[in-house]
Every structure is written in C-alpha cells, then in structure tokens.
C-alpha cells in the first residue's frame, strides 16, 4: 500500500500469514509498513522485555485491522521500507522493564511593488504533487490596484519519476535513479540578510546509497522468521548492515552482480537456495524513514530518553529547588527532504518535571477542597502525563480509581500478587501509603493475527509518579515562569551552540558515528546558512486620517491608546456587575474608563452598577438575566473576585446563547495593580469597542472585492468533548469587519464537516452587505498537520467550490487556500558578522521571510517571522499554498500574510498568524471551553469572543 510521498517503494508480500510473525531482531525488522506521507517517521520499538506488568484486558473493535498490525512510516516525503538492524546497529541495552512494553510483549497596502498575477497552465498551487508550467507565461491585467509586474524565474517542468509497480515474479532490468525536479517559488521584495537555520545538511558518500534487492527462496519459505534467519547466515557475503522485510532487501553498497545465488541453512531446517536480485538504487528522498530510525538509535547511544517525539537527557537535570521543579534538556529532530537536499531538522527542547509526587499533589487538593476533593483531583490530573522514575517512562493519566489502593491484587502470570509486593520485587520500591488511590493509564495494543485490539489498563501508584509539564496553577505564577525561563527560553546564540554541540557529540561517540558511516552518511559541522528577506515596514491607520510607520519591533501600543479609533461605538447603555468586596475596584474601574475614553474618540456614559451579595455562580447568572431584559443594553461587564472556570462558563453561556449580549469578564486582581491599572483599563475599553462592532485601526490592503477567511479548530485537552471549528470571514474592503460562525464537530475530528453551511451563510451575509459576491476568496486554514494536508486538499477545498455553486449557480470565485502551521520546529536567526558569538546570532526582525533551501522540495511554502519577542527565540509560522486560482506572485501572498498579522485587535502589533486565523482560534476556544453549544446569530457579526 503506497502513501503520498514523492518516492515509491518496491514491495512484495508473499503470504499474509508472514505479517503476523515476529521479527528476527538480530538481523532485521520484519513488520511491513504502511506508507504514510513525509518526514519524521516513527521510531520502531524493538526492545524485548521479559517481565509482565499488572494489566487488565478489554476488547475494542478496529476498523482497519486488516492493515493496522503494521507500523506506519512517518510523514516524510520519501519512503523506505523497514530498517534491518544488522550487527552494526546495536540493540538497546537491557534496563528496568517498561510496564507498557511488557504488556505489548505479552499481548502485542500598500504592497510595495507587488507583482501582477500570471497566467499559468494550472490553477493550483505548487502543491505537494503538482507544478506550474512556466515555459509559457503570459502577462495578465492586474486584478489588484498598485501591483507592479515582476518576473520570477522558475525551472522548466521536468518529467516526474514513474510509479514503480509491485515486484513481479519474473526478473526485470535494474532501474536508474530519477531525481525529481525542484520547483522554486521565491519572492524578491524586501531587504536581504544572512540567516542561519536549524537545518543541518546530511550528505551521502558517492560510493554509498540505498540499493534495493528482491530476495527469493527455493523452495519457498512461508515462515518469515525463517527467512530472516536464512538471510542472516549470509552476513559475510552481503554484509551485516542491511534492512529486510521478508521480501525486499536494502543494502548500503551494491553487490557485484545483478543476480546472486547462495545456499544457506539453519538449525532444524533444510538447506535452501537464496537468490538476491538487484532492482534499483533508491533516491535519497525515499530513504527518510531509514535515516530517522538511524538517528533514533544514535540518541540511544548518546543516552537520551525518548518522550513522545523528543529525546531528553535525564542525567543532566537543571534543578529549580525553590519550586521543586527540574528541567531535562533535550532535542527534537527529524530528517526531511528540503529544497536544498536531505537535512536534519534539529531544535532544542526541554521537559519540565515536578519533584513532588502525584500523591503530594493529591494531598494538597484534599486540604484545599475537602468535600469534593475527588472531583478536583480528577479535573487537575486527568489528561496530564506522569513520569515513573524507576524506569524513566511516561504515562498519560486517563482516570483515577478511588476504589483501589496498593493492597489490591492482580494476576502476574498465574500468580496473584498485590501492588506493594510487585513493586518491591520488580523495582525494589517500598510503598508507604496503603490508602492512596491508583492512577489509570489505558493503551490499545494490537494483537498479531487478530482483527481487534486489546485495551490494556495499567494501574500506577501515585507515590511513585511525578507530574511532567506545567499545570495551570504553575503557569499563573509569575515567579515560577520567570525562573523556568532561564533554562527554557534560550537566546539564539545558545541554540546555535546546542546545534553544533549535538554534531560534535555524534562525531566523538564511536558507536553513534559508526551508524552513519555504515550507510555512508556525514553531518555538516554547522547549520545551513541562507539568505532571507525582511519585508518593508507597514503603515497603521487610525481615526481622523492619522497614520504612522510601525516601529521595527512591530509594536504601536502608544498610538493605539493615544489616537482615536478608526470606528468608535459609544457606550451609552452598559451594565457593570461586581461583588460587595470589589465595590471599590468597580468604582475605580468606572472612573478610569471615563478618563481614558476621551483620546480614543469613544464617548462613555456611566454604567448601571449592580452590586452582588456574594460570588456564587447562580447569583451572577440571575442578575445578568435580569439586566438584559432591557434590550437596549449594549454590553455586560462582570468583575470576578477569583478565577473559576465554572462561573466564567456559566456567564458566557448565558450571554452567548440563552440571553445574547456582548460581554466582558474581568478578574479583579488585574485591576488592583495601581501602577498598571490605567493601561489595562485602556485596553479593556478598546476590547469592548470591538465587541460592539467598532474598528480600532487599519492596514492598507489594496485588494478589491475579496473575502479573507480564517479557520481553526479547538479540542479539549482530555479529548472527551466535541471539537469546535471556528470560521471567520471578512465582510468589508478594509478587512476589519468579520462574520464569525462556530461549528460543533464530532469527537477527535480535526477537519471541518460544516464548511458548506458556514460558507453559504457567510456568502449570503457578504452579498447583503456589499450587494455582490466576492470575486476572490483567500482562505487561511490553521490546525492542519502534515498528515492531513491531502485530506484538506481533496475534501475541504471542494466544499468551498460546492458552497459557491449552491449559493448561486455558475458562481465560481477564484480561491487561494493557504495552510497555516504554528507547531513547527523550524527556526532561523539573523547572522551578524564580526561580532562576539553572543551577539552574532539574533532573532530575525518582524517581517522576515524565508522561502527557499529549507522549504519543502515540491511544495509552495514559506516561513514568516512576524512577531517581536523580548526574550528567548522567535518561532516562525509555516505557510503552505495548497491552491492558488488567483495565480498570485509569491511576493503578494507573503506581503498580504504579513499585513494581516497586524489586524488582530487584542494586540497593538503583529501576531504569529493572520488576524482571521487568530480570530477563528479565539472563537473556537471560547465556544469549546465555555459555551459548549450554538451561539446566537445576533452576535456573529461582532468580535464577541475577544
């Protein structure tokens, strides 16, 4: 089964039974992979463990059981089948058993000189499997005012490699390596500067490669374990470094002959003839999985502990004793095929761990909440990941069983044993508290040869578990976050030093370096250096036709509070609700509002103040319902004495669904800081103006009759609730008015199913406001991982076309569809020559664009750093153009994207993503976290969710 990579695997499975056999771990990995898309690859777990962990089993259905017994290859753009171990790939040394692995073993604006659109042979973007024919490009009339024609050079279209059919039973001629052409989409606007990336070139010696062979046995061997053993007898002839899946063999060096025949024998079996037939040398881009597995083994050699997709060094923790925390340093890495070649993407990562046990945390909850402590403990811990230090493994808490304790018994093999005795025998750990509940971790484990999975339930003792990551309470404490930042928010020069140190560590470690040498691989000593560009500065527009050049740090907060807003909405009838204890805070808030409103151009009347006798949730809700009976109330402002999710959710649900009215919730603690209260209240006033339909500022974007859409999705942390999709679309020519539609989705569903209805409704509103439908629709889609790109391209985009056709038969606007990715590991830094190391590498300035060398080989994509950060390292956002009917030049899309980052009204500056995306995120977050249901239609034309 082939996935959507740009390399194709030659593969043959002779017998379905073979798939259920276990691997000969001494020579190869036997499981047959299902090919996925692209880069990182998943680590093949091969550690064999002998002991059992207490578990219980339940059976769950598995709809893809016919294929799911085989591991998925990661999301790379080239594919290689499973990796053979060989003698040079050392097995992990035995360590304390992993309970999960035991169970598996057991069960198994000015746009500056923007170019005009070009006519090309395809209406789609560079995409992941399509290209633009640029041999004959004609000039077209500019669809956008002020765009200047620019010529972009692109290579001529070259033939793509043919798909390779499954290996036939007859021999065939070997194939030559066909390199795919690289299609470059580069902009030219802005000021160039030298940048250093976090990609390190991975080179292959010309005498090495990955050579593909077919292995045949005569007589036929059905038992896949026997196949591995027979081939293992040929180490002297073919070498010890190889990968073999039972049919296809890969070697780092080519054998002398096209077809080689050997005889081999193993104990208890007849002698067989082994024929090895050469097929082709694989393109390097097809070998990403092999390279990723090699680096996983290198991390084991360097004594790093894998947690998720990252690897950490448990032997060098940084302790923060005053907070009982420690930080594990580590790396996240993946081998990917970029425009510039095969590269190791490397970044520094950290794992925060508490030195307090989960039992200690539970005890604190008992003291704090008393009667309902069990509910609060579950709320605080379920969904978190814990570390068991006796084996340095991590487990997600799925439930807490208060009916069991460490004296409970389970079956270990045929023997009944309790948890206390088990941990004493297995790990020499003595459990002290016999009344503590047990933590529950569930994991679906596939059973070889069966069409169902086994759900294994693991019981963990809180006394032996430590919370990883940060709790909400920790994040809310300034001192904790400040002390953590010393270790986690590294400056650019510190990251660059860490990248170089990683390469040096590999070169100094004989076993690690040998793993690369065996396949003819070498890493450059320094990260890849490229040329990036910083786009020209933007101009922000306020009321009274005042405009200002935005400062180099992308911040205009002083202008935002001293200038009149672009479109003010006067506060004539508003309600202020607070408790008796916050009466002074409420009075100061009202007085300050009246003082600061003048410069903004917003006229404010005094609010109708409502003092509550207590802070109970129902007291707030009842008072709100009473106040909004007056339909002329513009907005309800509530001051909460403390942060409580249930109260916030009840108030928002009441005012977004049951009794619709814009609302503003404020924590009284934020108003008590006299030094900052004035600036805080100024920002609250501006936020209230937006919620009433006002506009704060603008950026000149010379696009006519165009609608810009932002889409994002919210999932609850514990994944138990429904997902919510946010759909936000611009309604005016200045892209400052939006229509916002939330969509409730099924559990764990990332892709939106309600696109047609949302799009139709949005188009109706657009036509009602503008008296016509948009000629162009530009969509920024956030919340899409690499594994979902093809689904978005083939499923979501057609929904937009269908919605347009249903809206008006024959209506077919030009659509540009851009995927936005924030959770990426890419970094790039500005390199300044002739300076000390600490000053040579700095964050790139806001507006920095990188669109070549480290971008994807066959995708129309670019990186944009739009923000300014005061400490640490800025992370760019990644933009992938999946479709471009408008045939925009790269400069247009890049500058448009940058301009839109300034139009998010909760921040007087640039944010990481275009404003419509950020609005969609806020909308989905509010509805998913608090409202949990449909929002009244009367609010959808306002930014009520800011």
Instruction: Encode pLDDT of 719-740 as tens digits.
Output: 566 788 899 999 999 999 999 9
Catalytic residue flag (residue 504): no
Share of the chain above pLDDT 90, in %: 57
Is the pLDDT reported for residue 792 higher than 50? yes
**202, β-bridge pairs:** 523
| pTM, to two decimals | 0.79
Distance from C-alpha of 24 to C-alpha of 46, rounded to nearest angstrom: 10
Is the pLDDT reported for residue 40 higher than 60? no
- Answer whether CATH 3.40.50.300 is correct for domain 115-160+183-188+701-824+876-946: no
Radius of gyration of the chain (CA): 30
- pLDDT, mean of residues 666-675: 88
Distance from C-alpha of 187 to C-alpha of 891, rounded to nearest angstrom: 5
**Neighbour tally for 553: CB within 10 Å:** 14
pLDDT attached to residue 873: 94
pLDDT attached to residue 752: 58
Share of the chain above pLDDT 70, in %: 79
Is the pLDDT reported for residue 797 higher than 60? yes
Q: Band the pLDDT of 145: cuts 50, 70, 90.
A: very low
Distance from C-alpha of 877 to C-alpha of 844, rounded to nearest angstrom: 13
Answer yes or no: are the C-beta atoms of 80 and 288 closer than 8 Å.
Answer: yes
Catalytic entry in 750, 775, 802, 936 = 750
Catalytic residue flag (residue 384): no
Is the pLDDT reported for residue 799 higher than 80? yes
- pLDDT, mean of residues 812-829: 95
| In the chain, domain spans | 115-160+183-188+701-824+876-946, 568-691
Q: Write out the E strands in 606-675.
A: 608-612, 635-640, 663-667
If one compares 546 and 29, the residue with the highest pLDDT of the two is 546
Answer yes or no: are the C-beta atoms of 888 and 816 closer than 8 Å.
Answer: yes
| Nearest by Cα to 841 from 867, 873, 864 | 873
Q: Which of 227-231, 763-767, 803-807 tops mean pLDDT?
A: 763-767
> Tokens standing for 791?
């689904």
Is the pLDDT reported for residue 86 higher than 60? no
Instruction: Encode pLDDT of 246-301 as tens digits.
Output: 899 999 999 999 999 999 888 878 889 999 999 999 999 999 999 999 999 999 99
The CATH homologous superfamily for domain 568-691 is Response regulator (3.40.50.2300)
What helix, strand, coil percent values describe the chain, rounded to 5?
Answer: 30, 25, 45
DSSP alpha helix (H) spans, 692-814: 755-770, 789-791, 797-807
Is the pLDDT reported for residue 346 higher than 60? yes
Burial of 206 (0-12, 13-18, 19+ CB in 10 A): exposed
Catalytic entry in 296, 347, 615, 712 = 712
> Tokens standing for 636?
């309800």
Is the pLDDT reported for residue 87 higher than 80? no
Q: Band the pLDDT of 445: cuts 50, 70, 90.
A: confident
- pLDDT, mean of residues 825-832: 95
If one compares 595 and 12, the residue with the highest pLDDT of the two is 595
Distance from C-alpha of 784 to C-alpha of 790, rounded to nearest angstrom: 10
Q: How many helices (H) and strands (E) does the chain have?
A: 24, 42
Answer yes or no: are the C-beta atoms of 447 and 426 closer than 8 Å.
Answer: no
pLDDT attached to residue 142: 37
pLDDT attached to residue 476: 82
> Tokens standing for 805?
């056709």
Q: Do domains 115-160+183-188+701-824+876-946 and 568-691 have the same CATH topology?
A: no
Lowest mean pLDDT among 140-149, 592-601, 676-685, 777-786: 140-149
Is the pLDDT reported for residue 519 higher than 80? yes
Answer yes or no: are the C-beta atoms of 897 and 891 closer than 8 Å.
Answer: no
pLDDT attached to residue 446: 73
- pLDDT, mean of residues 26-34: 35
> Tokens standing for 144?
């956008």
With a CB cutoff of 8 Å and minimum separation 6, the contacts of 50 are 97, 105
> Tokens standing for 340?
């510039």
Catalytic residue flag (residue 257): no
Distance from C-alpha of 261 to C-alpha of 593, rounded to nearest angstrom: 88
Handedness of CA 893, 896, 900, 902 (dihedral sign): positive
Is the pLDDT reported for residue 185 higher than 50? yes
Q: What is the 3-state secondary structure (H, E, C) of 69-86?
A: CCCECCCECCCCCCCCCC
| Nearest by Cα to 716 from 773, 649, 658, 666 | 649
If one compares 20 and 502, the residue with the highest pLDDT of the two is 502
pLDDT attached to residue 205: 92
Q: Band the pLDDT of 549: cuts 50, 70, 90.
A: very high
Mean model confidence pLDDT for the chain:
81
- pLDDT, mean of residues 90-97: 39
Catalytic residue flag (residue 712): yes
Q: Band the pLDDT of 174: cuts 50, 70, 90.
A: low
Catalytic entry in 98, 782, 884, 885 = 782
Q: Band the pLDDT of 791: cuts 50, 70, 90.
A: confident
Answer yes or no: are the C-beta atoms of 703 and 776 closer than 8 Å.
Answer: yes
- pLDDT, mean of residues 34-55: 38
* Residue 283 CA: distances (Å) to CA of 127, 133, 175, 375, 643: 21, 24, 11, 56, 57
Instruction: Encode pLDDT of 895-907 as tens digits.
Output: 999 999 999 999 9
Is the pLDDT reported for residue 57 higher than 90? no
């Amino acid at each position: 089964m082939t996935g959507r990579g740009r390399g194709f695997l030659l593969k043959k499975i002779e017998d379905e039974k073979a798939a259920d056999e276990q691997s000969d771990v001494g020579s190869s990995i036997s499981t047959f992979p299902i090919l996925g898309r692209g880069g990182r690859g998943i680590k093949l777990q091969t550690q064999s463990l002998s002991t059992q962990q207490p578990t219980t089993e339940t059976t769950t259905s598995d709809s893809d059981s016919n294929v799911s017994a085989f591991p998925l290859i990661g999301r790379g753009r080239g594919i290689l089948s499973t990796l053979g171990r060989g003698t040079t790939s050392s097995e992990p040394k035995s360590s304390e058993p992993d309970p999960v692995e035991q169970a598996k073993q057991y069960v198994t604006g000015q746009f500056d000189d923007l170019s005009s659109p070009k006519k090309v042979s395809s209406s789609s973007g560079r995409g992941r499997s399509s290209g633009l024919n640029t041999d004959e490009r004609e000039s077209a009339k500019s669809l956008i005012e002020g765009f200047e024609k620019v010529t972009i050079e692109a290579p001529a279209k070259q033939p793509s490699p043919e798909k390779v059919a499954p290996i036939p039973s007859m021999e065939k001629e070997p194939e030559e390596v066909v390199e795919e052409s690289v299609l470059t989409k580069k902009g030219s606007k802005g000021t160039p500067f030298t940048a250093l990336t976090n990609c390190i070139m991975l080179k292959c010696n010309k005498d090495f490669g990955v050579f593909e062979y077919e292995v045949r046995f005569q007589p036929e061997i059905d038992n896949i374990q026997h196949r591995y053993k027979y081939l293992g007898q040929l180490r002297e002839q073919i070498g010890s470094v190889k990968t073999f899946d039972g049919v296809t063999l890969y070697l780092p060096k080519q054998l002398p002959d096209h077809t080689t025949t050997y005889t081999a024998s193993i104990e208890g079996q007849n002698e067989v003839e082994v024929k090895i037939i050469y097929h082709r040398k694989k393109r390097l881009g097809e070998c990403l999985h092999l390279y990723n597995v090699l680096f996983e083994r290198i991390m084991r050699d360097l004594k790093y502990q894998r947690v998720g997709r990252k690897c950490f060094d448990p032997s060098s923790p940084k302790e923060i004793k005053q907070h009982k925390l420690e930080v594990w340093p580590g790396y996240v890495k993946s081998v990917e095929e970029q425009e510039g070649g095969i590269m190791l993407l490397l970044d520094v990562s950290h794992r925060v761990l508490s030195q307090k046990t989960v039992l200690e945390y539970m005890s604190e909850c008992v003291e704090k909440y008393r009667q309902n402590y069990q509910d609060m403990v579950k709320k605080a811990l379920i969904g978190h990941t814990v570390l068991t230090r006796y084996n340095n493994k991590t487990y997600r808490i799925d439930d807490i069983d208060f009916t069991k304790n460490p004296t409970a018994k389970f079956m270990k093999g045929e023997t009944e044993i309790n948890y206390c005795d088990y941990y004493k025998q297995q790990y020499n750990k003595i459990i002290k508290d016999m009344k503590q509940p047990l933590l529950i971790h569930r994991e679906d484990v596939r059973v070889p040869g069966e069409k169902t999975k086994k759900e294994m339930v693991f019981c963990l003792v809180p006394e032996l578990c430590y919370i990883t990551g940060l709790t909400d309470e920790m994040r809310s404490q300034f001192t904790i976050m400040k002390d953590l930042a010393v270790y986690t928010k590294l400056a650019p020069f510190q990251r660059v030093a860490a990248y170089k140190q990683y390469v040096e560590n590999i070169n100094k470690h004989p076993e690690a370096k040998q793993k690369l040498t065996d396949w003819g691989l070498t890493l450059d000593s320094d990260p890849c250096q490229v040329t990036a560009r910083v786009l020209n500065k933007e101009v922000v527009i306020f009321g009274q036709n005042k405009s200002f050049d935005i400062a180099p740090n992308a911040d205009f907060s002083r202008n935002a509070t001293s200038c009149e807003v672009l479109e003010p909405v006067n506060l004539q009838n508003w309600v202020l609700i607070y408790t008796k204890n916050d009466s002074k805070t409420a009075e100061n808030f009202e007085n300050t509002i009246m003082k600061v409103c003048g410069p903004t151009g917003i006229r404010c009347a005094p609010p109708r103040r409502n003092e509550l006798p207590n802070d109970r949730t129902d007291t707030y809700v009842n008072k709100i319902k009473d106040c909004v009976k007056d339909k002329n109330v513009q907005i309800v402002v509530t001051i909460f004495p403390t942060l409580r999710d249930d109260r916030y959710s009840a108030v928002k649900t009441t005012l977004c669904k049951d009794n619709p009215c814009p609302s503003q919730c404020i924590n009284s603690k934020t108003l008590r800081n006299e030094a900052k209260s004035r600036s805080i209240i100024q920002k609250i006033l501006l936020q209230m103006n937006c919620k009433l339909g006002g506009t704060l500022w603008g950026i000149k974007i010379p696009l006519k009759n165009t609608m810009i859409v932002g889409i994002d999705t919210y999932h609850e942390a514990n994944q138990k609730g429904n997902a919510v999709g946010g759909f936000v679309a611009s309604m005016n020519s200045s892209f400052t008015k939006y229509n916002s539609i939330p969509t409730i989705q099924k559990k764990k569903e990332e892709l939106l199913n309600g696109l047609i209805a949302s799009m139709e409704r949005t188009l109706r509103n657009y036509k009602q406001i503008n008296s016509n439908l948009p000629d162009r629709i530009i969509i920024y889609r956030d919340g899409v991982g690499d594994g979902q790109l093809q689904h978005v391209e083939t499923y979501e985009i057609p929904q937009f076309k269908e919605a347009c056709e249903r809206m008006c038969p024959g209506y077919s606007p030009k659509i540009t569809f851009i995927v936005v990715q924030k959770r990426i590991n890419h970094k790039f830094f500005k390199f300044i020559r002739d300076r000390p190391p600490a000053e040579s590498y700095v964050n790139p300035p806001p507006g920095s664009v990188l669109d070549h060398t480290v971008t994807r080989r066959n995708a129309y994509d670019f990186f944009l750093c739009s923000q300014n950060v005061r400490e640490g390292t800025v992370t760019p956002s990644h933009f992938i153009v999946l479709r471009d009917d408008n045939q925009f030049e790269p400069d247009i899309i890049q500058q448009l994207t940058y301009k839109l980052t300034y139009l998010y009204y909760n921040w007087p500056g640039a944010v990481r993503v275009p404003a419509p995306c950020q609005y969609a995120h806020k909308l989905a977050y509010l509805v998913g976290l608090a409202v949990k249901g449909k929002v009244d239609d009367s609010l959808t034309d306002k930014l009520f969710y800011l």
